[in-house]
Structure 1
């Protein structure tokens, strides 16, 4: 069990979620996510403090404890499928994909913990250096006192005009240069420590950060450094121009929609890696989604990072995914629930058990054909989804509630209740896969 020294908080998983299996653990993980966001709301978005870093680490510690249990449960499910159906079977492959997804989520959490620990260590070192610098500066000023007095006396002889018009600007200029040099040095140290960069890499990255700051982004060079570091850690292989551009967009999105650069860049990376989008298109797509209301519950970027892979595996395009989620969000539907509904349909389709096939037999002729194509590998889960929804809309009007819910539960699992099928229906009816790309 991974724990963060000094911040470990134990979770009574046996009594809270393990007895409900993987679904219960996922619910617990969402609860921990919401607790973490609530705790962080006490701090300003751009604040850098030991208290904020420790709050983040506390939340991550709780998340990784649950995620480890989720990963273990997924591994056990995979081993069970291998025993019952054989290695390479459809059931085993499905469980293997689920297990791999949980491993990826666990590794992402570990990287976030390592990154946050480095940031905390860097911040403490910056404080130590800053305090030491000001002590040395104070001593230097004391030591230079006599020389300053002599300079002042000399200025008096030249005249009051020279004293007032020249002495003050010289002092101000000296303070400005000292401050700028200190910031630049801090920037280099932070980048080196956080990214393990070489001297040449540090020089290049410090130049990028300084350029972003000069262009008016961030309240300080230190804030820009943090954003650039998180962008580079979460999105690899960006050249200098793209790194600067993407960091700026991430800061703008985070600031506009009350999020964190780390969450924004993680979400952007899932679009880039899963859909092959370039960074520009990925961030523009997220901006459009947020503008259309997808971030109303302040969870859009976190959800994108977690669920994008499910839409891709189901056969949905990036356009379709954003159309579905943005139109559902317009009606106030929680993104977690929307994503879980799609995921549950995907899992039920991949399993294609007896109840699922029975439900499919009640569908229209066209939908049954799509299902036959799906079984032959000629159609995707998204094709099934698009075919099923119109059929369900018709069934809702013609079938008794009990029969309708039985069919719905076979298709959508435990997320299918009378009140929830309306979400699914309205969500699809609203979206109609309208063009979405910018």
Structure 2
């Protein structure tokens, strides 16, 4: 019998007939022995290894069947005990014998009940483990551990190879070549450390989604991520300092192992600006600059011109542009955006689409917008317009609006890739119909769960409904005339301005639910 057959096995325990007590107990014991042997066959050889999710599910099914058998046994023992207890004392000659049998039966019954409790506990622990193994966070954690182990091995090999090369360079007395090899080595180390940060960031995000920000697993993941980022920052700073030393007298600059020849004026200007981008290197995205010889110089120029771009696009004062540029650089350091240009543009779109945010809210909304746009493959402008209209339409705070959008996207509302556009268009309308922001998202969730073709279908249906209930046509009046007296009263209140479209909608839906066809 293979694993699949064992897991699906059902042993017939027929206790409905008039079989004797000992026969019933015998049936149950044989069934449970068979379940035990089946479990043993599935788990054989896995003592020192973690069971697969599939095997644990099979064992769970068999344990559940075993538990039912144990409960049936306990019930049989209880019935027999009750029967003997009633007989005891009826016949004086049999009293002593029955008393002994009753006492033994009570002991057997108590042991059986204890066995049921142990099996229930074991089954609960097993099902918890199944749930844990099936979680997104566990899978992401396992993938991250595997990747980090590989990265550690690569780092060991890299450091070993560099040790040999460095020793050779010292013997040859080639200082410039030694610096060049050191620069190449740090570049490779930085690349591996960046990979580690990316893996740990996935783990942290998975923990936050599944367990919440305040969970211990989430906090531990964040600490691990921050420690790795700190290590990467040190490597980036060391690489940056080293590249300043290489071939300075020849007016050349080695950027991640590539020789960049520039004019003295450009080199001096770039070096003066390097302090401004030191934080950018700490963000962990310096490896991207190695794509071209002038990558680092371009980065320096981008940082320097970012403030002017902000001032030009938003029409703010120099002081305000400097403040906004500081937020842009801070967000990039925290790992948002592919480059500072993307973060800056995101901040500009937030500022243009959502008015009146203070510095703290502006930074948080920009974070949320960039994250939602990246995770759900949307445009930052779409996200910010949606957030703005949810805030204006329902009078919510920026936090509530973006929390609701994140909840909606995570719960499938973006299945047709139009959630943010729909929110921009319809959020103000739903407020006028009497819905709160939370009620609006819940309505969209119910429509999505019902299997509609796209999100626009739900919003269009509600838009058409509110148009029809307001037009006062003969057909609408006749339709409401066929509904319940309670709904007719709501309809009457609506026509007198005492009820909302939401009230009418809820009353009609309730009537439809109670109809036979």
TM (normalized to structure 2)?
0.44
1:64-83, aligned counterparts within 5 Å? Answer: none
Distance 2:508 2:455 in 1: 21
Decide which structure has the larger Cα Rg and report it: 2
Give the match for residue 289 of structure 1. Answer: 408
| Residues 1:339 and 2:432 are matched in the alignment | no
Out of 235, 239, 246, the position equivalent to 1:168 is: 246
| Residues 1:371 and 2:449 are matched in the alignment | no
Out of 381, 391, 397, the position equivalent to 1:278 is: 397
| Residues 1:315 and 2:329 are matched in the alignment | no
Bigger relative contact order, structure 1 or 2, given CA contacts below 8 A and separation 6+? 1
Output one character per residue of 1:349-405: Cα deviation in whole Å (capped at 9) or x when no partner: 11122211111111101101111111121111100000001223444x34xxxxxxx
1:20-419, aligned counterparts within 5 Å? Answer: 160-161=174-175, 164-165=178-179, 167-168=245-246, 171-172=253-254, 177=274, 178-333=297-452, 334-395=454-515, 397-398=516-517
Distance 1:379 1:331 in 2: 27
Distance 1:354 1:211 in 2: 61
Distance 1:299 1:169 in 2: 54
Distance 2:338 2:318 in 1: 26
Distance 2:330 2:397 in 1: 22
Distance 1:243 1:172 in 2: 38
Q: In structure 1, list runs of 5 or more residues that go unmatched.
A: 1-158, 399-438
Distance 1:385 1:160 in 2: 82
Give the match for residue 156 of structure 1. Answer: none
- Report if aligned partners of 2:408, 2:445 keep a CA contact under 8 Å in 1: yes
Secondary structure of 2:246 counterpart: helix
Give the match for residue 235 of structure 2. Answer: none
Secondary structure of 1:197 counterpart: coil
- Report if aligned partners of 1:292, 1:330 keep a CA contact under 8 Å in 2: no
Give the drift of 1:194: 1.3
- Report if aligned partners of 2:336, 2:370 keep a CA contact under 8 Å in 1: yes
Q: In structure 2, list runs of 5 or more residues that go unmatched.
A: 1-172, 180-241, 256-266, 275-296
Output one character per residue of 1:285-312: Cα deviation in whole Å (capped at 9) or x when no partner: 0000111100011000000000111111
Give the match for residue 417 of structure 1. Answer: none
Distance 2:495 2:305 in 1: 59
Distance 2:496 2:247 in 1: 80
- Report if aligned partners of 1:294, 1:330 keep a CA contact under 8 Å in 2: no
Distance 1:366 1:216 in 2: 56
Secondary structure of 2:400 counterpart: helix
- Report if aligned partners of 1:267, 1:304 keep a CA contact under 8 Å in 2: yes
- Report if aligned partners of 2:394, 2:427 keep a CA contact under 8 Å in 1: no
Give the drift of 1:320: 1.2
Secondary structure of 1:366 counterpart: helix
Secondary structure of 1:250 counterpart: helix
Distance 2:406 2:489 in 1: 38
Distance 2:449 2:489 in 1: 33
- Report if aligned partners of 2:176, 2:247 keep a CA contact under 8 Å in 1: no
Distance 1:390 1:202 in 2: 54
Give the drift of 1:185: 2.3
User: Against the structure 1 CA distance between its residues 169 and 255, is the aligned structure 2 distance closer, same or farther, given a 3 Å change threshold?
Assistant: farther
